[in-house]
C-alpha cells in the first residue's frame, strides 16, 4: 500500500470519526435545543471566509503588475514591520488559487471574499493600459469559484493602491475619486458578471487613520491631524460614485449587490460607561462612515466637537471637511447592505484629562479593557463576545435595521494547529450573532471568518496568524494544512449548526488521552 493511499485512508477514518461524534452530539441534545447551546443558522444564511490581495497573492512583480503602496512601504521601510518581512510571496495564492478553491470547497464554505490588486489590473494606476494578465488571473479565480458553486465576494480595494497615485497625494487628493471610479469600471467591464457581491472599499476609517494620521500602515503619513478626515471624505465620494455607476450601468445585467464594509468596535458596561459615552464612541467609530450613507451627513457630535477642537488648535476652519448639498444627495443611500467587520470591544468612558482642560482627542473618549479579558496574539484584540450583540442591536436601532453582512471576524494566535482559542472565539461570537437575529430581530445575512489562510498581517508581518488553514511560510511551496478549527468549521457547515466548542474540544482531549489526535 502506498504512503499516499495510507494517508487517505487515515484521513477518511478521521473524518468518519468526527461525523459520528457530531451526529452523536446533536442527537443526544434532542429537544433541548438552544437552551443547551445548539443554535441553527437561518435558511439562506451565508458562511464564508476572507482574504486580501497583498496578504495572500505574492507574485508582487510578475506578469505586468505595477508597484503598490504596500510593495513600496514594506520594501523601503521594513523597520515598520514587526519581523521586517513583506508580501512578495505571502501565501503564493497567485499560483495556488486552484488549491485554495479546493480547500474552500472541501470545508464547505458558502462564499469566499477576496480583494483585487489595483496594480495587477492597472499597473500605472490609470485606466489605460489594462494588464490582461491580471484580468485573466482574476477571471480564472472567479470561474474556479463559480464552478465549485461558491458565492463570490470581491473587494475592489483592500488598502493597496498604486504607488504612483500615492505620490500624487493618494486618498488625500480628490482626483483619487475619479481614478477609483475609472478602475472600478474596468473591473465591471471585464469580470463584473462573475461577481455576486461587490465591496468597493474595505474599512475606510481604519485605513485613513493608520495610513494618513500614523505611520502604522502604508503609506505611513501624518498630515497635521487632518489627513484621515480628507481621506475618508474622498473615499465616501469614490464609493458613492461607484455605487451609482454600478446601479445605472451594470446592475440589470450583472445582478450583483454593492456596498462597502466598515469596522465597528463593540462595547460592554463597566465603571464610567454611560449611554452618552456609548453613543459618542459609536458615532465617531461607525457613524463617521455610515451616517453619510444613511442620513446624508457626518454625525452632529463629530461636526461640533471637531470644529471646537480645531478652533482651540488655531485652525481657521474645521479639520472635518463639509459635504456640499449635491454630494450629500449622491452619498445618501448609496449601498445595498451594511458591511460590518468586528473583532473586539472595550468600555468607553470620558477622558478624565478633559475635565482638567486638556483636550487630548476629538472624541474625548477612551476605551478601557478589563485586565481579566482574554486576548489573541494581537495586543489590541480582546475577546469580548457580548460586544458584537451590542453592535448589531445598535445598528438596527440607529439605521432602521439594514441587511448586515459581516465580512470579517476572527482572532489571532501564533500559529497553533490545535487552535482552541480560535474555535471558542468563533463559537461565542457567532452565538451572540444568532441571538441577535433570533431574539432581537437583527437582519444579519452573512458571516465571514477572517481569515481563510494564515497570511501577511500588515505591520505585524507573519508574527500573528488568523487562518483556519495553516500556511508553512518556511516552505517554498507555502504548504497548506488543516487546524483544529478547520475540522470545527467543516462540521458547522455540514450540519448548519453552531457546534459547541467546549464539547468539541472535550472530545478531542479524550482522543488525545487515548493516544490519538484529530489527524488520526
Tens digit of each residue's pLDDT (9 = 90 or more) over 475-496: 999 999 999 999 999 999 999 9
Check which CATH number belongs to the domain holding 239 and give it: 3.20.20.80
The pTM is what? 0.93
Residue 443 burial (10 A CB sphere; 0-12, 13-18, 19+) = middle
199 belongs to a structural domain:
yes
Q: 368 forms bridges with which residues in the sheet?
A: 347
What's the number of domains the chain is made of?
A: 1
Lookup: cell for 442 = 437583527
d(CA 234, CA 240): 10
Residue 519 burial (10 A CB sphere; 0-12, 13-18, 19+) = middle
User: What residues act catalytically?
Assistant: 203, 408
Ranges of residues in the chain whose predicted pLDDT is under 70: 1-38, 516-520
Give the model's pLDDT for residue 29. 42
pLDDT tens digit sequence for 93-112: 999 999 999 999 999 999 99
Contacts of residue 498, defined as CB under 8 A and 6 or more positions apart, other chains included, come to 37, 38, 39, 40, 41, 427, 430, 431, 434, 492
106 belongs to a structural domain:
yes
392 belongs to a structural domain:
no
452 belongs to a structural domain:
yes
Domain that holds residue 125: 41-262+403-513
157 belongs to a structural domain:
yes
280 belongs to a structural domain:
no
Give the model's pLDDT for residue 342. 98
d(CA 120, CA 124): 9
d(CA 520, CA 517): 6
Contact 345, 266 (CB under 8 A): yes
d(CA 260, CA 184): 13
- Taking the CB of residue 253, how many other CB atoms lie within 10 A of it? 10
Q: What phi and psi values does residue 353 have, to the nearest 5 degrees?
A: -65, -30
21 belongs to a structural domain:
no
Give the model's pLDDT for residue 516. 65
3-state secondary structure of 201: strand
463 belongs to a structural domain:
yes
Amino acid at each position: 500500500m502506498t504512503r499516499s493511499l495510507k494517508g487517505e485512508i487515515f484521513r477518511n477514518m478521521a473524518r468518519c470519526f468526527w461525523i459520528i461524534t457530531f451526529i452523536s452530539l446533536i442527537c443526544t441534545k434532542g429537544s433541548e435545543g438552544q437552551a443547551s447551546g445548539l443554535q441553527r443558522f437561518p435558511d439562506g444564511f451565508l458562511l464564508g471566509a476572507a482574504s486580501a490581495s497583498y496578504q495572500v497573492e505574492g507574485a508582487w512583480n510578475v506578469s505586468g503588475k505595477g508597484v503598490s503602496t504596500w510593495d513600496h512601504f514594506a520594501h523601503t521601510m521594513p523597520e515598520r514591520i514587526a519581523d521586517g518581512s513583506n508580501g512578495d510571496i505571502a501565501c503564493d495564492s497567485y499560483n495556488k488559487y486552484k488549491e485554495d478553491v479546493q480547500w474552500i470547497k472541501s470545508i464547505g464554505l458558502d462564499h469566499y471574499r477576496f480583494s483585487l490588486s489595483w496594480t495587477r489590473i492597472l499597473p500605472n494606476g490609470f485606466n489605460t493600459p489594462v494588464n490582461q494578465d491580471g484580468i485573466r488571473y482574476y477571471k480564472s479565480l472567479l470561474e474556479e469559484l463559480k464552478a465549485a458553486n461558491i458565492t463570490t465576494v470581491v473587494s475592489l480595494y483592500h488598502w493597496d493602491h498604486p504607488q504612483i497615485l500615492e505620490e500624487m497625494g493618494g486618498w488625500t487628493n480628490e482626483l483619487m475619486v475619479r481614478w477609483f471610479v475609472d478602475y472600478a469600471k474596468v473591473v465591471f467591464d471585464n469580470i463584473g458578471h462573475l461577481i455576486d457581491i461587490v465591496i468597493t472599499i474595505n474599512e475606510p476609517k481604519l485605513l485613513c487613520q493608520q495610513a494618513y494620521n500614523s505611520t502604522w500602515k502604508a503609506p505611513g503619513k501624518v498630515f497635521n491631524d487632518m489627513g484621515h478626515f480628507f481621506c475618508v471624505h474622498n473615499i465616501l465620494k469614490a464609493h458613492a460614485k461607484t455605487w451609482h455607476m454600478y446601479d445605472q450601468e451594470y446592475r440589470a445585467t450583472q445582478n450583483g449587490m454593492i456596498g462597502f464594509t466598515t469596522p465597528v468596535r463593540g462595547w460592554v458596561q463597566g465603571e464610567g460607561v454611560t449611554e452618552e459615552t456609548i453613543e459618542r464612541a459609536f458615532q465617531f467609530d461607525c457613524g463617521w462612515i455610515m451616517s453619510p450613507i444613511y442620513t446624508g451627513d457626518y454625525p452632529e457630535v463629530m461636526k461640533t466637537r471637531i470644529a471646537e477642537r480645531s478652533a482651540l488648535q488655531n485652525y481657521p476652519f474645521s479639520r472635518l471637511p463639509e459635504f456640499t448639498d449635491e454630494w450629500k444627495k449622491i452619498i445618501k443611500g448609496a449601498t445595498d447592505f451594511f458591511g460590518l467587520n468586528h473583532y473586539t470591544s472595550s468600555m468607553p468612558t470620558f477622558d478624565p484629562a478633559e475635565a482638567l482642560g486638556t483636550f487630548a482627542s476629538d472624541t474625548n473618549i477612551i476605551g478601557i479593557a478589563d485586565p481579566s479579558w482574554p486576548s489573541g496574539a494581537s495586543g489590541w484584540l480582546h475577546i469580548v463576545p457580548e460586544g458584537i450583540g451590542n453592535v448589531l442591536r445598535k445598528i438596527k436601532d440607529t439605521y432602521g435595521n439594514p441587511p448586515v453582512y459581516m465580512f470579517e471576524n476572527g482572532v489571532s494566535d501564533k500559529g497553533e494547529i490545535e487552535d482552541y482559542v480560535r474555535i471558542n472565539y468563533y463559537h461565542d461570537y457567532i452565538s451572540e450573532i444568532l441571538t441577535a437575529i433570533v431574539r432581537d430581530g437583527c437582519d444579519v445575512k452573512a458571516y465571514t471568518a477572517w481569515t481563510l489562510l494564515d497570511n501577511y498581517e500588515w505591520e505585524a508581518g507573519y508574527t500573528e496568524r488568523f487562518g483556519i488553514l495553516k500556511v508553512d511560510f518556511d516552505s517554498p511551496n507555502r504548504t497548506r494544512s488543516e487546524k483544529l478549527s478547520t475540522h470545527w468549521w467543516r462540521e458547522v457547515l455540514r450540519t448548519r449548526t453552531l457546534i459547541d466548542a467546549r464539547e468539541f474540544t472535550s472530545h478531542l482531549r479524550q482522543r488525545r488521552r487515548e493516544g490519538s489526535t484529530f489527524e488520526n
